[in-house]
Amino acid sequence: MNLLPFLAGGFVLAIFIFRRDLLIQPSSFKIILATSSSLFVLGLSLHLLVPEKYPGSGAFLAPFLTLALYRFTRLIFKRRFGREPRDTYLDWREGMGADRFFNIIYFSLAILIWVIAGSFGS
């Protein structure tokens, strides 16, 4: 697998881990959405037009898909609990079970999408 598509595929996941607030703020979300959409179009084009020349180009599909997954799971969380999900990394306070569940579910599904998308074109 080529390193560039692999790293680009983890774009949204890295933002989720290091700067989750950027996924929520409208101005930064628009930039992330534009970048993810561009990568998606690039990955789809490479995969459909010249898949044998660019193995692993399917990883370019992952940022858009994981961003859509984040927005969907966040919407469900906000409807259920009426607030934004909090980051629970190394935070062991009580009452954060729902937030931990959200983080585990999103992270697991995002990794799965990244791996499956990265295997296309190989």
What tens digit of pLDDT does each residue of 3-56 get? Answer: 888 889 999 999 999 999 999 999 999 999 999 999 999 988 888 887 677 777
What tens digit of pLDDT does each residue of 67-106 get? Answer: 999 999 999 999 999 999 988 887 777 888 899 999 999 9
Angle at 75 between CA 21 and CA 107, to 5 degrees: 60
Residue 40: what pLDDT?
94
Helices 62-81 and 97-119 pack at an angle, to 10 degrees, of: 160
Residue 51: what pLDDT?
67
What is the model's pTM? 0.90
CA–CA separation, 122 and 115 (whole Å): 12
Tally of residues, the chain = 122
Q: What is the DSSP string of 34-91?
A: HHHHHHHHHHHHHHHH-TTTSTTGGGGGHHHHHHHHHHHHHHHHHHHHSSPPPP-TT-
